Amino acid sequence: MYKQSEIIRVLLVEDDPGETELIRDMLSGPGEVTFDLECVDRLSKGLECLAAGGIDVVLLDLGLPYSQGLDTFTMVYARAPEVPIVVLTGLYDVTLAIKAVREGAQDYLVKSQVESKLLVRSLHYAIERKRAEEIIRKSEAMYRSLYETTLALAKQTDLDTVIRTISDRATAFLEANDCAVYLLDQKRKVLVPIFSNASQGREEIMANEISLGEGLSGRVAKMGAGAYINAGDETNYAVHIPGIDEVEDKNESVICVPVFDGSKVIGVITIGKLGARFDKREVKKLTIFARQAEIALKRAQNLQALRESEEKSRTLVEMLEEGIGTVDEKENFVFINQAAADIFGYSKEELLGKNLGGSTTPEKFKQVLGQTSIGKSGQASQYELAITRKDGEARIISVTSTPIMGDNGKYRGAFGIFHDITERKRTEEELRKRLAQLEIYYQSTLGREKRIIALKREVNELLGELGREEKYGV
């Protein structure tokens, strides 16, 4: 548990000189460790010692001048909650001492019952219990931070926001000073700085790419394993900026872990902290954090790629002269391009959410619903529909409807292509009327021709009766 050469600094806050000497004697005997006892007789002096630091454990009398009872413990605990406290009490103050233990004291000792072995064992156990509590507290804080990070990242879909959140959360996670996030350009084999929250040197960090194997970040990306450099350590590779042979800031320790997509490294997270030293535990903690970051980063990248693809598709759709739109299962518009909006005579904003039935008569809308029934069976259809534009003008459109089916095979709506065929229908109607008129004319002309032929035949017959030659060759 303890090395023979280890020294434990004990702060004794006790106003009774006799009790002080007795405790000094108990702790000065031979043992596994050496106790360095610092004695004060006032609470104010004890608080000053705690503020100066270096105290491993406190022996605290609850009955001090100008400070009595549980308030004495509360003030000491508030000043240094990380330091274990053993309460000293009289025989008749045990209830008060138990309350102090419930409030955070590690143990209590009745002065009249204290002897050397009991005191030493109590101090040892107090320190070890406090260490165990601190480990548990840090572990709980780590998992709480991971949980909160997961929630924070889950709310974000924008890639830039996700990267900024990763950087800020990673900095807070290790109580560090700054963080830089790099993504790996797979083709060029370089780490590209994406974001840094460093208060100093940010421009230099963001301006420099790092080759694989170069610097701490480059080595981590190449090896696929986390690493760290502590301030003052001798090293032959750079941390932040390529070409530097040691940590740029002599007082800053740096830790870096890879970010994966499956088994492939896609980037690194690099953390800097002033006045601290990292070890393998921090590498493990940041690696766990990076696993959460990987999920959010990949999701944001996929969503951004999808948005970019949708934007390209949307741009192409907007460039088409054909009317393009999609409706949900109730025939409400959920997307429409400008050409389709022009056909219906509304703005795109007015049509979104508008039901197709609002542009036609109830009777004609029954026709649309009949086509929807066809779509629900998974079949495409084509039909004509009479609509009324916003300005009251009647138009006729052709609709080519392709059903949109969900993964479960359920009908979710339809993709439609719209053409305004009003002019074509008018032209067809004009041609139909012209053909009808020509048919009447033809029939009337044909009747006249028949009458003329009949007359010619009658003339020929009369000429024959007169013994004369026929005049008409019919």
Q: What is the pLDDT of residue 313?
A: 64
Residue 320's pLDDT is what?
A: 64
Distance of alpha carbon 290 from alpha carbon 282, whole angstroms: 12
Please determine, for residue 81, whether its predicted confidence score (pLDDT) is greater than 80.
Answer: yes
Q: What is the pLDDT of residues 378-428, one digit of tens each?
A: 898 899 999 999 999 999 999 999 999 887 888 999 999 999 999 988 888
pLDDT band of residue 235 (cuts 50, 70, 90) is: low
In tens, the pLDDT along 339-368 reads: 899 999 999 999 999 998 889 888 888 888
Instruction: Select from 72, 146, 140 the least CA-distant residue to 105.
Output: 72
The model's confidence at residue 91, banded by pLDDT at 50, 70 and 90, is low
**What is the spatial distance between Cα 327 and Cα 403, in angstroms, rounded to a whole number?**
10
Neighbours of 436 (CB within 10 A): 10
347: Cβ contacts below 8 Å, ≥ 6 apart: 341
**Count of Cβ atoms closer than 10 Å to residue 22 Cβ:** 16
Window from 69-83, 262-276, 293-307, 374-388 with minimum mean pLDDT: 293-307
Q: Are residues 57 and 126 in contact, defined by beta-carbon separation less than 8 angstroms?
A: yes
State yes or no: pLDDT of 29 exceeds 80: no
Q: Say whether pLDDT at 151 is over 70.
A: yes
306 has pLDDT over 80: no
Cβ-proximal residues to 279 (8 Å cutoff; 6+ apart), any chain: 228
Long-range contacts of 456-461 (CB under 8 A, 24+ apart): none
Annotate 282-313 with b (16+ C-beta within 10 A) or e (fewer).
bbebbbebbebbbebbbbbeeeeeeeeeeeee
3-class DSSP assignment, residue 228: strand
